[in-house]
A and B are shown apart, each in its own frame.
Chain A
Amino acid sequence: MSSFLLKRLLQGVVIMAAMSVIVFAGVYAIGNPLDVLIPPEATQDVRERTIARFGLDKSLVEQYFLFISNLLKGDLGLSYIYNEPVLSLIGNRLPATLELVLTAVLGATLIGVPLGIYAGYKPHGFAARAIMAISILGFSVPTFWVGLILILTFAVSLGWLPSGGRGETVEFLGIEWSVLTLNGWSHLVLPAINLALFKLAIMVRLARAGTREVMLSDTVKFARAAGLSEMTILSRHVLKLISIPIVTVFGLELASTLAFAVVTETIFSWPGVGKLIIDSIKNLDRPVMVAYLILTAGLFVTINLCVDIAYALLDPRLRRGRAE
C-alpha cells in the first residue's frame, strides 16, 4: 500500500509541475496587463516603476521561476485590481464556495443514489421512467437557466426565498458560515439546489446503470437463493458493488462542482471564489487567475489521490500490493 501511495504522490507532484507551467504560460499569453495596471496619463517614470514592481521587465522564464519560488513560500503575489495578496483574497471567499459546493454534492449523492438504485431495480416501472426522464432533464438543462427559473419562481413570484447574497453568518473556527443560521440556510437553499441538479442527474444515472448490471450478476442470484430479503440485497450487496464508481464520481464531481460554482455564484451573487475568477478574467487580473487555476489543479490532484486511496480500501483486488 505504501509503495502504491508513494507512486501516486510522485505522479501528483509531476502533474502539478506540468500544470503550473501550462497555466503560467497560458495566462501570460492573455492581453497586456500594463493596460490594467497603469493609467494612460501616467508618466514614463511611474510606468517603469510599476513594471519593475510587478517584475514585468523580466523574461517569461525568469518570471516563472520567481513565481514558483514565491509560491513555495506561500506567496501567490498581489492582485492587480484589489492590490491585496491573492492568497488572502481567495482564502476569504473560499468558505462561502466550500459550504455551497459541499451542501450541493452531499445532497445530490444522498438523494440521487437511492433514486438511481430504485430506477435500476425496477427499470421498466413507471417511477423508474419518471426518475430517468427527470435525470435527463437535469443533465440537459443548462445550470444558469435553472438558476434563473428558481429565482423567478421562489424569489420573484412566490417571494419565499431571497434571490441572492449569503444572509446572516455565524463565526465558527474563525470563519463565517451561512449553514449555521436559519437565515443563512434560506439564502443557501436555492443556489445549492441549482448546483446540485446536474450532480443529482449524474448520481442517478450511475447508480441505475450499476444496479442494472449488478442485479443480473451471480452475487444477487446467490443472495436471493440464500433467502435474503430484497431490501438486504440492495442495501448490503448492490450498494457495495456499485459504490466504487460512485465514490470516484463523488470525488471528481466535488472538484468539478467547485468549477461549476462559477455560474451559480454569478446568478445568485454568492460571494465565493467563482465570482472572483469571473471578475478577474474580465479584468485581466493575472495573479488571481493563475492562483485560482493552480489551486484548482492542486485540488483535483489531491482529490484524485483520495479517490485512489478510497478505491484501494473498497476493492480488495486493488490492495494486493500490500501482501507482497
Chain B
Amino acid sequence: MTDKAVSPWRNLWVRFREDRIALAALVVVGIILLLALFAPFIAPQDPYDLSGLSLRDARRPPGWVGSGGYVHWLGTDAQGRDLLSAILYGLGVSIQIGIFAGAVGLVIGTTIGILAAYHRGWFETVLMRIIDLQLSFPPILLALVLVAALGQGKAQLIAALVAAQYAYFARTAFGAASAERSKDYIEAARATPLSNTRIVFRHILPNAMPALIVVATVQVAYAIALESTLSFLGLGLPVTEPSLGMLISNGVKYMMSGRYWISVYPGIALIILIVAINLVGDHVRDILNPRLNR
C-alpha cells in the first residue's frame, strides 16, 4: 500500500475485478450495448422496412433459408421478419427506454432526496412522507394506471416508468445525503461563505454517488423489465417500434401450436440483458456494503 490516497472509484474498480462472474457480466453488458448500437450494420435485415418482408417467410423455424437468400438463424415471426434482426433492433429500443427512464428518475429523485436532507424541517417531513407512501405501492400498478392515463408513446411510457421509480432514487439520495449532512465538515463548510449549491455539488453529491449508481443499475434493469411487461400486456409502445416485450407478446398466440421461437428467443435476449445488469449491480452493492467489509 502506498501512502497516496487511492480514489474511491479506482478502489471500487480494483475490488470489482476480483469477482470473475461480475466481471463477465460487465463484459456481457458491454457486448449487448455494442450489438444494440451497431444493429443497423450487423442485422441481416432492416425489420422496420416492410417492403423487404415476404409473407412466404412467415413463422419459419430457426435455420430456414428465406427468400432473401440468407439463413434465418433464429427463425422468423408472423410477418416474415428475421427474428435475429428484430431482436437486435428491439434490444436497442428496450435499452434506450431503460436508460432514459433510469437517468431521468436519477436526476429527479436525487434532487428531491438531497433537497429534503439539506433543508430538513417540515419540508423534509412532507417530502419523505410522500416518498414513503409511494414506495409502499407496487410500481407496476402505478405504471399501468399512468400508461392508461397518458396514452401510448415513447415519451409517455418513459414518464410512467420515471413516476413509478423516482422514489427509490429519492430514498437512497436522502439516506446518503442526510448521513453526510450531519457530519462536522459540512457544518464547518456552512459556516464559511461557501454557497449552498457549492456544498451540495462539491461535497454531498459526490459522497452520495456510489449508492446512487447501484440503485441506478438495478433501476435500469427494472425499467427494462417493466417496459417489456407493459408492452406484453398491450399497454406499452406503439407497434411501429417493437421492443423485446412486444416481440414476445406477438409470438404468444403461436406458442400453443409449438412455434416457440417467436416468443422464446426475444425472451432469452431480454433475460441475458437483465441478469447481466443485475449481477453487476449486485456485486457493486456487496462491495459498498460496509457491514460485510471486515
| A residues adjacent to B (C-beta < 8 A) | 15, 18, 26-27, 29-30, 136-137, 139-145, 148-149, 151-152, 156, 163, 212-213, 216, 252, 255-256, 259-260, 262-263, 266, 277-278, 281-282, 284, 289, 293, 296-297, 300, 304
Contact = CB atoms under 8 A, between A and B. Distances in A.
B270 interface: yes
Nearest to A284: B148
Contacts of A212: 292
Interface stretch (B45-53, B63-71, B178-186, B221-229): B221-229
Contacts of A29: 149
A142 B136 contact: no
Contacts of A255: 138
B43 interface: no
Given A30-B148, A156-B258, A259 B267 contact: no
Contacts of A144: 228-229, 232-233, 248
A284 B145 CA distance: 11
Contact of B141 (A137, A142, A259, A304): A259
Given A30-B148, A142-B232, A282-B235, 20 more contacts: A18-B133, A136-B275, A136-B278, A136-B282, A140-B225, A140-B278, A141-B271, A142-B228, A142-B229, A142-B274, A144-B248, A145-B248, A145-B267, A148-B255, A152-B255, A156-B260, A259-B138, A266-B233, A282-B234, A296-B141
Residue of B145, B235, B282, B294 contacting most chain A CB atoms (<10 Å): B145
B137 A300 contact: yes
Interface of B: 133, 136-138, 140-141, 144-145, 148-149, 221, 225, 228-229, 232-235, 245, 248, 252, 255-256, 258, 260, 263-264, 267, 270-271, 274-275, 278-279, 282, 291-292, 294
B264 A137 contact: no
Contacts of A282: 148, 234-235
A148 B248 contact: yes
Contacts of B228: 142, 144-145
A212 B286 CA distance: 12
B145 A289 contact: yes
Contacts of A27: 145, 149
A139 B232 CA distance: 18
A143 B256 CA distance: 19
Contacts of A293: 141, 145
A145 B271 contact: yes
Nearest to A253: B138
Ordered nearest first, which 4 A-B pairs have the shortest CB separation? A259-B138, A256-B138, A281-B148, A140-B274
A152 B263 CA distance: 10
B149 A151 contact: no
Contact of B221 (A140, A149, A163, A284): A140
Contact of A281 (B133, B144, B270, B274): B144
B234 to A, nearest CB: 7
Given A152-B260, A297-B137, A141 B274 contact: yes
Given A140-B278, A263-B233, A293-B145, A145 B270 contact: yes
B234 A151 contact: no
B283 to A, nearest CB: 11
A255 B232 CA distance: 22
Contacts of A213: 291
30 contacts: A15-B133, A136-B275, A136-B279, A136-B282, A137-B275, A139-B278, A140-B271, A140-B275, A142-B274, A143-B229, A144-B233, A144-B248, A145-B248, A145-B267, A148-B255, A156-B258, A163-B256, A212-B292, A252-B136, A255-B138, A256-B138, A259-B138, A260-B138, A262-B140, A262-B141, A281-B235, A282-B235, A289-B145, A297-B137, A304-B136
Contacts of A18: 133
A161 B231 CA distance: 27
B2 to A, nearest CB: 30
Contacts of A26: 145, 149
